[in-house]
Structure 1
Amino acid sequence: MLLTVNQLTKTYGAITVLSEISFIVNAQDRIGIVGPNGVGKSTLFRLLTHSEDADQGSITFAPGVEYGYLPQATPDFYGRTIDELIKEAVGNLYQLQERMQQLESAMSQATEDQLPALLEEYSEVSTRFQERGGYELDYKIDFVLSGLHIDYLPRDRDVHTLSGGEKERIGLAILLLSSPDILLLDEPTNHLDFASMAWLESYLAAYRGALLTVSHDRQFLNRAVNQIFEIDEHKHQLKVYSGNYDAYVQAREAERAKWEEEYERQQEEIKALRKRIREARLRASRTHFGPARDNDKFARYSHEQSAQRTSASKLHMAEALLQRIEADPIPKPPELLQGNWQFNGEPMQSQVVLNFSHVSKQFGTRSLFRDLQLTIAPRARILLTGPNGAGKTTLCKLLMGLEQPDEGQIYRAPGVRIGYLSQEPALDPQKTVIETYRYDQVGYEGEFVGRLIGYGLFRLEDMPKKVSQLSQGQQRKLEIACLVARQPNVLLLDEPTNYISLDILETFEAAILNFPGPVLAISHDRWFIERFGGQIWELRDEQLQQLDSADYLQAAWLDAV
């Protein structure tokens, strides 16, 4: 048993995020944590790592257990080189190695009475050193960097000079190299390509420690975990499901169907009991026997008393049964908060919506692309792929006019309204949810509140919250709402499924697929790519090349096997 969590509760003011959470983590456990955005998944990680304090409950790690945490937002590591971070990550192995040497020296001089204790400690330390790859340290470093496709980076390079995706990979590599007993990974696949995700899944399958991960990647959850921890958005409690994500979905749907069926059956029973009670009371008030002959008065009285006793008994039984049910009724299944929106932008009439003509771009001495040619038609579906740092995000910024090319021309058809979703949420943290949504729109606040609630992304109580109070997933949902409100006719989406919880992901994907105008998307989400369709363009070695879609998808799934 590596970790025990008992009755953990966390509130922010009047808002309960986690309520009496309890669970146990053993070695080799592979746990996926799911739930709607803002339900407390990242909060749970912060509590486990003591970044925040719980209001009540306990978190107990077994003696000597070490954990490693990868947050959603990787630190900049300002002023640190890759090599410095690697040496720091494997420092615990150096410490174990040093302790082994100390014990070896002590055993060579130990008395017969001292030797057994030294041998026992040496066995424990050497076993931990071996299990964490201490005897193959150089190979392990090369293996991890190569598996995450960052072995091309010079070890003496400052990490803060890397691209966002490269920083994410370095952060993950450093954590894996530290070989903790428990891995806590918050959205680890956000910046991984197919090959890197397949490698990570394989690596985690062979990992000797335990894994707890928050992820929106359905395929990753299917391949990497054997348990699902669901945090309920209404009770704020945790429920454990065996199996991978698909098994969880099936079990969850079966539970929901059974709950709805039992609730409806009980409601029908309550209606029937209330009807019986009303009818029994009505009969009791109307009980009357007509005039009787003098010699039949006693029989008539006896029959009347018997009927009244029977009616009263039935009434009492029905009232008692109704009282028992209403004292502890089956709660009504809460309505699921699901996305309910579509993009309403008018389709473009121009045959050429956007065009790159001989475009070149570089930053300092680093050239991203040269002599680039690209035409986007009115109904185009383009998936832009390529290694991290190749310039995919820069290409989107050029199309929007946020960056200017060093050479060449960029054409935008008249009337183009580009809707852009950046790789990371980028909202004003001091504005409220409703202030952010209604910005640059004309109308009454009540109208905007109703529309935002109607999307199925937020509830009424969320409206006055500041952006800084939202999780990254909730911020992503707010960006989606703002994107829909602007009614764009062109979509540029940079990793659009990042941070979006699984409860609304399929609705968002459907809205993109039904969008009437052109869509250019950057994504490594395997499920999204398979459904997206369209052309595949790869940006690599300063050039843009169209790939065969069927071959690309087949290779992607082969990498994942």
Structure 2
Amino acid sequence: MSDTNAGRTGGAQDILSGDHRSAHLLAENVHCVLGDRLVLRDVSLKVSRGERVGLIGENGRGKSTLLRAIAGELPVQRGQVVRAVAGQVGFLPQEPGFPAGATIETVLARATAEFGEMAERMRAAEELMSSGTEDLSEVLGEYGRLQDEFARRGGWELDARVGEVLDVFGLGNLDRLRLTATLSGGERSRLALAALVLTEPAGLLLDEPTNHLDDRAVDWLIPWLARYQGPCLIASHDRVLLDKAVTAIVDLDGSRGTTVRYGGGYRDYLDERAAARARWWQQYRDWRQELVEARRRLDRAARSGRTFGGRQDSDKLSYDLAGGGAQAAAARATRAARQQLGRLLDEEVLRPPEPLAFRPPEDDPEGDPAGESAERTGDGVLLRAAALAVGDVLRDVDLELAPGSRHVITGPNGSGKSTLLSALAGLRTPDGGVVTGEPGLRIGYLPQESDFSGERRGVLETFAAHRAAYVDDAARELTRFGLFASADFDVPVNRLSVGQLRRLELALLFSRRPNLLLLDEPTNHLSLDLVEQLQDAVEQFTGPVVMVTHDRALRERHRDSLLELVEGRLTRPV
């Protein structure tokens, strides 16, 4: 923050939008520091009525902070927040809270209180009409407006609507007198979302609204959002929701102060990103070609200058007549070539990062012992689990992993999915059964949560140590896919965001050149651009893959490979 702005503070204001067409939510040059960390730097964003903007970006880039600032729950150090709507703005944080002593019933009563107020106003209007003491035309007009609004928002079917919303969000069987403090985190999130749906506020701010929803609930919520007409800002990694419910996408990097807006839904965003990447590669190729040509011109000019660089006394007359002019021309050409080369170097176009891709193990100097061994066995199976049992979560699990095989495992939280992957990776000893792999098999294991606890070294030093690689080689590997810039190499790992830690895990995964992949929630905490790249890299990988995921788009893509872990056993979903 500059000294000239050090004393300035930001603010938020609510403006009653007289014309619903002008309703909007606005953040203008918002600057926010949490603790000693700059989260938002002069970020600006506007969401108008009828717009449903998907807010994307890696974890730790400021999405939740921006939503909280617009909602008025977080003061900003600089900039302005405006909520110009005819009513309240509804906000769904990732971890919603309720007043002390609140029950499910009191939350629902508060959410539907406006319907009771409208019903009371309609009864009052009916009494005025029957008394004949007021201007009948004015009372009738007000009564008609109230009836239309009441009907539009489903007031006549309110009880049935409350029951439907609770049922679709998995709350229908809960006692409505139950204290919200006794609910699980997922139940509290679903109750808060249900309350917003029933209230249907004048504006919406939603932070990962599908995090705790099953497929049925998501299928219900997406059309509801698509019909919503107020200004709506949704922070989400859910590609299905972004594809079907939003009208624009904003990619946020708050600490860098950037917001890049893409028109349309998720597919339009992917198309625009692909086009931008293609333009970048073309600019890089053009720059490289110009650089080569500039160096050639400089070399030719230098050689031309050397041709006339010396003369003998007897050649003085001929040199004065021809050589002097040629040498001057060569000098001018040399200066022009140097200037052009200097300009090109000053305007360097950086090489675009390569898309994520697994390098074949046979390219590795260590060879491919697993592949050779697999050929000798005759059946091609690289890893086999037989009658695997771990505690109460896995019972008699059998799995064979051969090159090209794909297994996408789903199941409720706590069903043992992560336990299965860690056992297959050899990181957990099973209580029963056996896991056997081919000699020399290199397993690429991506855990659900990054574990670099206690790591104080910088990114590059940590990566090099985990890879047992020279620093120069490690630097090339880290920058190859654009997962880290060289400016980040010295950042201590314990200060990385969740998204950056995930990038470090990815860098280690790709550097191992695995024969087999075990991926636990691989799309968690990644930017959507990286999610798409990782998805493509996995599809091009020729070895066996086992993925555990709740990502609906990923499950849809591998529908024929789905396995469900239920009561300790792997089964094909019905």
Q: TM-score, normalised by structure 2?
A: 0.66
Render the CA deviation track for 1:340-399: whole Å, top value 9, x for unaligned: 69999x96555322379xx7x9xxxxxxxxxx975333449473446xxxxx51556998
Change (3 A) 1:502 1:201: same
Output the aligned Cα RMSD: 5.7
Deviations 1:311-341 (A, max 9, x none): 56656655665666566x2642553695869
Which of residues 388, 391, 396 is equivalent to 1:353? 388
Q: Partner amino acid for 1:335?
A: P
Match of 2:111 among 86, 89, 105: 89
Which has the higher mean CA deviation after the structures are superposed, 38-47 or 332-341?
A: 332-341
- Which digits, 9 at most, give the CA deviation of each residue in 1:378-424, with x for residues without a partner? 449473446xxxxx5155699899xxxxxxxx9522569998966xx
In 2: Cα distance, 1:446 partner to 1:544 partner: 35
Q: 1:266 aligns with which of 262, 287, 292?
A: 287
Alignment of structure 1 residues 214-233 onto 2, 5 Å: 214-231=235-252
How many angstroms apart in 2 are the aligned matches of 1:194 and 1:517?
A: 27
Deviations 1:152-184 (A, max 9, x none): 322222334344433332232122223223322
Which piece of structure 1 moves more, 255-264 or 307-316?
307-316
The equivalent position to 1:140 in structure 2, one of 148, 151, 161, is 161
The alignment status of 1:166 with 2:187, answered yes or no, reads: yes
Tell me, yes or no, if structure 1 residue 27 matches structure 2 residue 49: yes
Counterparts of 2:266 and 2:506 in 1: how far apart (Å)?
Answer: 25
Task: Name which of 90, 94, 103 aligns with 1:72.
Answer: 94
Residue equivalent to 2:63:
41
* Corresponding letter in the other structure for 2:527: S
**Which stretch of the first structure deviates more once superposed, 260-269 or 228-237?**
228-237
Q: Which residue of 2 aligns with 1:502?
A: 528
**Inter-CA distance 80–437: structure 2 relative to 1 (3 Å threshold):** farther
- Corresponding residue for 2:432? 412
Of 550, 554, 565, 1:523 maps to 550
Conservation of the 8 A alpha-carbon contact between 2:28 and 2:44: yes
Letter in 1 for 2:530: I
What CA distance in whole angstroms lies between the structure 2 residues aligned with 1:252 and 1:490? Answer: 27
Counterpart pick for 1:4 among 26, 50, 53: 26
Structure 2 partner of 1:209: 230
Give how far 1:506 is off.
Answer: 5.0
Aligned residues of 1:201 and 1:220 also touching (Cα < 8 A):
yes
Q: Are residues 527 and 314 of structure 1, via their aligned partners in 2, closer, same or farther at CA, if it must alter by over 3 Å?
A: same
Structure 1 unaligned residues grouped into runs of 5+: 362-371, 387-391, 402-409, 553-561
- Is the 8 Å Cα contact of residues 390 and 431 (structure 2) preserved in structure 1? yes
Alpha carbons of structure 1 residues 221 and 311: separation in structure 2 relative to 1, 3 Å: same
Deviations 1:33-92 (A, max 9, x none): 223343333332233234444443322221545322223334487743211222233345
Q: Distance in 2 between matches of 1:62 and 1:397?
A: 46
**Mapped contact 1:169–1:191 kept (Cα < 8 A):** yes
Query: What CA distance in whole angstroms lies between the structure 1 residues aligned with 2:292 and 2:119?
Result: 73
The size of the alignment, in residue pairs, is 508
Separation of aligned partners in 1, 2:332 and 2:47:
55
Of 219, 227, 238, the residue aligned with 1:198 is 219
User: Per the alignment, do residues 273 and 42 of structure 1 end up closer, same or farther by CA in structure 2, a change over 3 Å counting?
Assistant: same
Structure 2 segments unaligned to the other structure (5+ residues)? 1-21, 362-367, 371-381, 423-429, 438-442
Identical-residue share of aligned pairs (%): 27
Cα displacement string for residues 485-533 of structure 1 (whole angstroms, at most 9, x for unaligned residues):
999x99795x664444323335666669979899584636242354274
Distance between the aligned counterparts of 2:489 and 2:507, measured in 1?
17
Residue matched to 2:3: none
Deviation at 1:199, TM superposition (A): 1.0
CA distance in 2, matches of 1:100, 1:330: 69
- Conserved 8 A contact 2:281-2:352: no
CA contact (8 A) 2:44 2:259 kept: yes
1:365 corresponds to: none
CA distance 1:435–1:413, change in 2 (3 Å):
farther
Q: What SS does the corresponding residue of 1:351 show, helix, strand or coil?
A: strand
AA aligned opposite 1:72? Q
> Which of 350, 368, 387 is the equivalent residue of 1:332?
350
* Cα distance in structure 1, aligned partners of 2:151 and 2:293: 69
Residue of structure 1 in register with 2:378 after alignment: none
Matched residue SS, 1:209: coil
Using the alignment, how far apart are the partners of 1:97 and 1:227 within structure 2? Answer: 37
Q: Residues 528-539 of structure 1: matches in 2 within 5 Å? A: 528=555, 530-531=557-558, 533-534=560-561, 536-537=563-564, 539=566
SS of the residue corresponding to residue 386 of structure 2 reads coil
Indicate the SS of the match to 2:414. Answer: helix
Local SS of the residue matching 1:241:
strand
Matched position secondary structure for 2:387: coil
Contact 2:28–2:79 (Cα < 8 Å) also in 1: yes
1:464 and 2:492 matched:
yes
Q: Which amino acid aligns with 1:413?
A: G
Inter-partner Cα distance in structure 2 for 1:490 and 1:290 = 71
Q: Secondary structure at the match of 1:183?
A: strand
Q: Distance in 1 between matches of 2:271 and 2:545?
A: 35
| One-letter identity of the residue aligned with 1:412 | G
Q: Deviations over 1:2-42 (max 9, x none)?
A: 02333334456886554443332111112222233433333
